[in-house]
Amino acid sequence: MKYIIAIDQGTTSSRCIVYDQQANPIAVAQQEFQQIFPQPGWVEHDAEEIWQTQAAVFRQVLAQQHLNPQDIAGIGITNQRETTVIWERSTGKPIYNAIVWQDRRTANKCAQLKETGVEAMIKAKTGLLIDAYFSASKICWILDHVDGARDKAARGELAFGTIDSWLVWNLSNGELHITDVTNASRTLLFDIDRLQWDDELLQLFNIPASLLPEVKSSSECYGVTRHPDVGTGIPIAAIAGDQQAALFGQQCFKEGMAKCTYGTGSFLIMNTGSRKVASDNQLLTTIAWKIDDQVVYALEGSVFTSGAVIQWLRDGLHLFENAAECETLAASVADNGGVVFVPALTGLAAPHWDPHTRGSIFGITRGTTSGHITRAALEGICFQVDELLSTMNADTGVPISELRIDGGATANNLLIQFQADISAIHIIRPSNLETTALGAAYLAGIATGFWTLAEICQKGKIEREFHGTIASEEIEILKRKWLKAIDRSMHWAD
């Protein structure tokens, strides 16, 4: 019997899951790794620690089921997107910590670039806005701030990659320097029509083409593992950025289907089929996946701080000891007690795109408790997602009536019920919340012949459905308070 392994490399942890022929997870291992905050607004990871933890959990899942490399039909990789690593080709050693997608150090540089009037050209080619969120300005920062980096890059001695490229480089022991279209489409350097790196954008950002990985489809056998820490000869068969993988894992195969992942951030993404939908409201046009010669596009809205605010309440304010207690504390009060929490701990993404917004709590009184603050934090996550839903409806002209959800925070029933209430939408929660990893597994299964698309369509199971229950008048009152709080939080760090 053969199995598929999904490598799910996230913002706060490295995870591996083994799937059997029925797409059941039969072994899971996970390790958190260090979050590095050198300055306010800066977020870094140790790329070598990411590889070490990912290799460790890979070995653990094999050991759990007493599997050997020859038992694995293929590996699918899904990863935190935009996070940027540059390493030496000769040694495989990073020249600087990975700069994480949340990092805002290049916000001013991006603002200056916007003032030159190039954003329309960039959006037409990449589907993206100029923002520190994406990889290009992070690459520039590393090249400009690490001694000798620009000279080495000019000589072709350095390699750039998002986390997928870094993992594949290590898995293949330096033989493969590749990425897929979904990750390439998040760099600000990739033309999503022509499906290639764009010379004009490389020149604009002063980035040598020699740094860049070769771009592949999301589902194909790229090569095999050659690193002794994970075993040799296993096909590396799929790569997809985490949100695109979750869209695939949720089986949103038809145009108009949408999902939202509630992880470190929240990410709403809709399948738009073979057509690129240009947003009039600052959403992103991106690539959902490419299988064989078929490219599927998507419309996406991002919330930078979602589950991360729960982590902050736990680790920063010490309001509870584990994330599961968050719901209990929030449910200890009947409502938010007039408190509104804007969880913009790393700025606001769509539709505001203000890197200078900061987290804010309004309406505090002598009667405010930790329960009120926690409840308001959960509601703040939902208000941000609701803004994305409203914006996406305006862009497409077709209201989203059904939303599929995944991610760790969706185990919180209070959170999801409030989302259904405030957005007046039907929400579907699957039995398996780890749809990001499942999507990577599905893509690897297709590449290796482990599954067909028709077989995958039979595997989805619903655990619970949520429907809105509050009156439209109450919804409007709540939304007005939220927008008032947003307005007063924006531009705080200008």
- The answer to whether the pTM exceeds 0.75 is yes
- Any residues with CB less than 8 A from the CB of 257 and at least 6 apart, and which? 250, 270, 271, 402, 404
Does the pLDDT of residue 399 top 90, yes or no?
Answer: no
Instruction: Count the residues in the chain.
Output: 494
pLDDT bin (cut points 50, 70, 90) of residue 398 is confident
* More confident call, 1 vs 135: 135
Q: Return d(Cα 56, Cα 229) in angstroms, integer.
A: 8
233: left (phi over 0), alpha (psi -120 to 50) or beta: left
Name the packing angle between helices 370-396 and 472-489 (round to 10°): 100
In sequence order, what DSSP letters do the residues of 339-369 get, joined into one string?
Answer: -EEE--BTBB-TTT-BTT---EEE---TT--
The pLDDT value recorded for residue 287 is: 96
Q: Return d(Cα 405, Cα 427) in angstroms, integer.
A: 7
Q: For the residues 16-39, what does the mean pLDDT come to?
A: 94
The pLDDT value recorded for residue 367 is: 94
Paired residues of 235 in beta bridges = 224
Residue 100 is classified by DSSP as: P
Domain 3-243 matching CATH 3.30.420.40: the answer reads yes
Report helix, strand or coil for 232.
coil
The pLDDT value recorded for residue 24 is: 92
The beta strands (E) that lie in 162-293 are given as 178-180, 190-191, 196-197, 214-216, 219-224, 235-241, 258-262, 266-273, 284-291
Does the pLDDT of residue 294 top 90, yes or no?
Answer: yes
The pLDDT value recorded for residue 281 is: 83
- The amino acid present at 236, given as its one-letter code, is I
Does the pLDDT of residue 280 top 80, yes or no?
Answer: yes
The pLDDT value recorded for residue 57 is: 96
Q: Find, among 106, 104, 84, 102, the residue nearest to 94 by Cα.
A: 84
- Any residues with CB less than 8 A from the CB of 108 and at least 6 apart, and which? none
Cα–Cα–Cα angle for 412, 41, 263, rounded to 5 degrees: 20
For 186-212, write each residue's pLDDT tens digit.
999 999 999 999 999 999 999 999 999
Question: Is-contact 160 85, C-beta < 8 A?
Answer: yes
Q: For the residues 227-253, what does the mean pLDDT come to?
A: 94
For 130-142, write each residue's pLDDT tens digit.
999 899 999 999 9
- The amino acid present at 12, given as its one-letter code, is T
Q: For the residues 361-389, what does the mean pLDDT come to?
A: 94
Q: Find, among 355, 360, 362, the residue nearest to 339 by Cα.
A: 362
Percent residues over pLDDT 70 in the chain = 100
pLDDT bin (cut points 50, 70, 90) of residue 336 is very high
Q: Find, among 355, 430, 311, 426, the residue nearest to 108 by Cα.
A: 355
Q: What are the start-end ranges of the H helices in 172-205?
A: 181-184, 199-205
The pLDDT value recorded for residue 115 is: 92
pLDDT bin (cut points 50, 70, 90) of residue 395 is confident
The pLDDT value recorded for residue 19 is: 96
The H or E element spanning position 43 is none
Structure tokens at 256: 């108009």
128-132, 154-158, 373-377, 396-400: segment of lowest average pLDDT? 396-400
The pLDDT value recorded for residue 304 is: 82
Report helix, strand or coil for 16.
strand
pLDDT bin (cut points 50, 70, 90) of residue 351 is confident
For 439-453, write each residue's pLDDT tens digit.
999 999 999 999 998
Structure tokens at 112: 């200056």
- β pairing state of 402-406 and 426-430: parallel
Q: For the residues 156-169, what does the mean pLDDT come to?
A: 97
Does the pLDDT of residue 493 top 80, yes or no?
Answer: no
For 78-106, write each residue's pLDDT tens digit.
999 999 999 999 999 999 999 999 898 99
The separation between the first and the last C-alpha atoms of the chain, rounded to the nearest angstrom, is 58
Report helix, strand or coil for 82.
coil
Percent residues over pLDDT 90 in the chain = 75
Does the pLDDT of residue 432 top 90, yes or no?
Answer: no
- Show me where the domains of the chain are located: 3-243
Q: Provide φ and ψ at 428, rounded to 5°.
A: -115, 125
Q: What are the start-end ranges of the H helices in 185-306?
A: 199-205, 242-249
The pLDDT value recorded for residue 41 is: 85
Mean pLDDT computed over every residue of the chain = 93
Does the pLDDT of residue 460 top 80, yes or no?
Answer: no
Does the pLDDT of residue 470 top 90, yes or no?
Answer: no
